């Protein structure tokens, strides 16, 4: 989830207030919106840097940086203000203001070609008249815009959010730290009153033990929708790939994952699998390890073709879930030699899984929240999710025999 410290969130609000006050007196609405969007982008994407320096310095730096690329300090333009007067209004020195402006320009990659940050974009392209000279002039200008577009495509992707989201997320961050559901829920409701597209709030509310499965499903669907709204996504297929790489996209993946798990428990297994595949399609890193549980689901539903494709995609994956799913797939499709080779590989990477498969060990009640590949903790986690796929007495006996062979070779 997106986390902002109280200090940073408080500073954000101060910066916005200073920008609004200055804009109302010296600038115009479009300048104000651009400067606020710049502040939102900075706080969202560069939190560590924003911790340093005073709010007035950042506010002045943002206004100066946006003003610089929009000719704010040219007396022929409207609005206009002297640089010295700008710094004076914000109560900072010219050296501080200049330094912060350069920092803002660097962080946002600002330049005269940054079209998304220009005021009255396209104002230099005038309507062509009926004489050839003016038509040629417009053609040259349009050609310049085309080059600018190509340059803009190479600029780092940034994303701005509404300030209410940041405030609401602060409440949610606090809600997750509470020990009782009641306290979590109260904070979740408070967050939704401030910002309705707060995905984590719906996830918290879905954990209410007094509501039924359909009500929980509805809340989790709202969580997914809220996360999409936050990312400004209407259709996943046409969404910008960069959107799924920013930190707040974790809310979308978390909501999708929570919904998938709940759908599986409800028996809506096809839809659960579809949601899991959606996550893997758009999440390159798969921080939630959705591939692990999806492999088990595909085994249980005997979707062997899809499982084979999944395992090929994660051929070099070191997780126990992927490696032992590969063993089960080969065995169930009667590829015994391949299964034996896969079992040897899986056993070498995490031997602690086998005792759970052959029922020498029981799954503990308390499961580890964190684990490393190849450890007993990883084996416990896998056993809690994947043993149903091994519910075959012949396969279990086969694993027992192979384990003896592997141990004998190791001993010798």
For 245-284, the pLDDT digits (tens) are 888 899 999 999 999 999 999 999 999 999 999 999 999 8
Q: Given a cut of 50, is residue 73 above it in pLDDT?
A: yes
- 55-69 vs 6-26: helix axis angle to the nearest 10? 50
Q: Which distant-in-sequence residues (6+ apart) come within 8 Å of 179 by Cβ?
A: none
pLDDT of residue 137: 36
* End-to-end CA, the chain: 50
**pLDDT tens digits, residue range 310-343?**
999 999 898 999 999 999 999 999 999 999 999 9
Stretch 174-185: mean pLDDT: 93
- Assess contact for 386 and 395: CB atoms under 8 A: no
- Assess contact for 327 and 339: CB atoms under 8 A: yes
Q: 5 pLDDT band (50/70/90 cuts)? A: low
- Assess contact for 183 and 205: CB atoms under 8 A: no
Q: Given a cut of 90, is residue 352 above it in pLDDT?
A: yes
- 22-26, 221-225, 231-235 — most confident range: 221-225
Q: Given a cut of 90, is residue 132 above it in pLDDT?
A: no
Q: Given a cut of 60, is residue 147 above it in pLDDT?
A: no
Q: Give this prediction's pTM.
A: 0.62
Task: Indicate the range of 34-38, 149-153, 369-373, 377-381 predicted with least confidence.
Answer: 149-153
What is the DSSP-derived secondary structure letter of residue 389?
A: G
Q: Which distant-in-sequence residues (6+ apart) come within 8 Å of 400 by Cβ?
A: 358
Q: 123 pLDDT band (50/70/90 cuts)? A: very low
Q: Given a cut of 60, is residue 370 above it in pLDDT?
A: yes
Q: 411 pLDDT band (50/70/90 cuts)? A: very low
- Assess contact for 64 and 70: CB atoms under 8 A: no
- % of the chain with per-residue pLDDT over 70: 88
Q: CA triplet 172, 21, 44: central angle to 5 degrees?
A: 35
Question: 113 vs 366, which has greater pLDDT?
Answer: 366
For 198, phi then psi, to 5°, come to: -105, 95
For 181, phi then psi, to 5°, come to: -60, -40
* Nearest CA among 13, 52, 370, 369 for reference residue 170: 13
Please state, in angstroms and as integers, the Cα–Cα distance from residue 60 to each residue in 28, 80, 154, following that order: 16, 15, 28
Please state, in angstroms and as integers, the Cα–Cα distance from residue 172 to each residue in 11, 58, 224, 250, 335, following that order: 18, 26, 16, 14, 49
**CA distance linking residue 293 with residue 286, whole number of Å:** 12
Q: Which distant-in-sequence residues (6+ apart) come within 8 Å of 57 by Cβ?
A: 90, 92, 96, 97, 100
Q: Given a cut of 80, is residue 165 above it in pLDDT?
A: yes
**CA distance linking residue 228 with residue 259, whole number of Å:** 14
Domains of the chain: 6-119+127-153 (1.10.472.10), 168-288 (1.25.40.10), 302-412 (no CATH)
């Amino acid at each position: 989830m997106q986390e902002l410290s109280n200090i940073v969130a408080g500073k954000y609000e101060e910066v916005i207030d200073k920008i609004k006050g200055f804009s109302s007196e010296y600038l115009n609405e479009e300048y104000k919106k651009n400067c606020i969007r710049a502040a939102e982008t900075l706080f969202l994407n560069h939190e560590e840097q924003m911790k340093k320096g005073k709010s007035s310095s950042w506010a002045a730096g943002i206004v100066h940086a946006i003003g610089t690329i929009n000719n704010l300090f040219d007396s022929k333009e409207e609005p206009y203000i002297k640089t010295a007067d700008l710094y004076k209004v914000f109560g900072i020195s010219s050296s501080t203001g200049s330094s912060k402006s350069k920092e803002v320009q660097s962080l946002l990659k600002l330049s005269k070609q940054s079209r998304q940050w220009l005021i009255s974009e396209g104002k230099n392209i005038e309507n062509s008249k009926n004489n050839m000279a003016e038509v040629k002039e417009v053609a040259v200008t349009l050609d310049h815009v085309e080059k600018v577009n190509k340059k803009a495509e190479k600029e780092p992707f940034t994303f701005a959010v509404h300030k209410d989201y940041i405030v609401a997320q602060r409440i949610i961050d606090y809600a997750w730290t509470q020990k009782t559901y009641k306290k979590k829920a109260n904070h979740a409701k408070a967050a939704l009153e401030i910002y309705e597209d707060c995905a984590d709030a719906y996830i918290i509310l879905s954990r209410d033990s007094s509501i039924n499965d359909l009500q929980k499903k509805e809340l989790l669907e709202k969580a997914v929708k809220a996360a999409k709204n936050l990312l400004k996504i209407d259709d996943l297929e046409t969404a910008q790939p960069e959107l799924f790489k920013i930190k707040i996209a974790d809310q979308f993946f978390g909501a999708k994952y929570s919904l998938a798990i709940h759908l599986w428990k409800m028996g809506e297994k096809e839809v659960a699998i579809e949601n899991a595949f959606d996550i893997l399609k758009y999440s390159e890193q798969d921080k939630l390890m959705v591939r692990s549980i999806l492999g088990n689901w595909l085994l249980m539903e005997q979707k062997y073709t899809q499982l084979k494709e999944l395992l090929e995609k994660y051929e070099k994956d070191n997780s126990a879930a992927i490696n032992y799913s590969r063993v089960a797939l080969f065995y169930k499709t009667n590829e015994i030699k391949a299964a034996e080779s896969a079992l040897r590989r899986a056993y070498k990477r995490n031997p602690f899984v086998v005792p759970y498969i052959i029922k020498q060990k029981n799954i503990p009640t308390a499961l580890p929240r964190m684990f490393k590949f190849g450890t007993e903790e990883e084996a416990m986690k896998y056993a809690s999710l994947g043993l149903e796929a091994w519910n075959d007495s012949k396969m279990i006996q086969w694993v027992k025999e192979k384990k003896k062979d592997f141990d004998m070779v190791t001993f010798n």
